[in-house]
Structure 1
């Protein structure tokens, strides 16, 4: 029998308060962005709550023309043991290879799918 899957999406952004640090964010009515925590610890919480899969989206990577934060991806993949999707700032095949070799199970693309 089919069952519903629980797949949380964690949105990452550069912190306004700590330079160079990535934090989880949420929005209020899609406008006000609130920093809500540290990505790796939140991923572990979702795993403990029996999530089926996890999605990390780096909201700033495309806008800032940079790759997703490989350090967070690597740390998360070492701590959690469920399928793990990463997206944001992925433009080239080399980016796919790099994400997959650093622990991502899947790679999500958006803008690059239309451009390339």
Structure 2
């Protein structure tokens, strides 16, 4: 997601194994969907990384120095594309639990 017109995700690393069965979906994703994902997101640096013997995952690096890792083992290429777009649309902030349903900058003085 863009915060004031600036996309927050700056780098996406696609890690996979060229032999393992759990990486079958991500290998199909790289053949079919990854090129169109790169073309639709020119602001994003997409890097593929071969790691043998490990389950595949997507790792996103954000401008606020945070990173998110999503395991995509045994997923279809459509599901992997969904997770990649979720990483792209996220702001990279940590999840904060709200104490009340009503959030205000000026709490009541009563």
Same fold (TM over 0.5): no
Larger Rg: 2
Asked which structure has the greater RCO (Cα within 8 Å, sep 6+), the reply is: 2
TM-score (norm. length: structure 2) = 0.30
TM-score (norm. length: structure 1) = 0.29
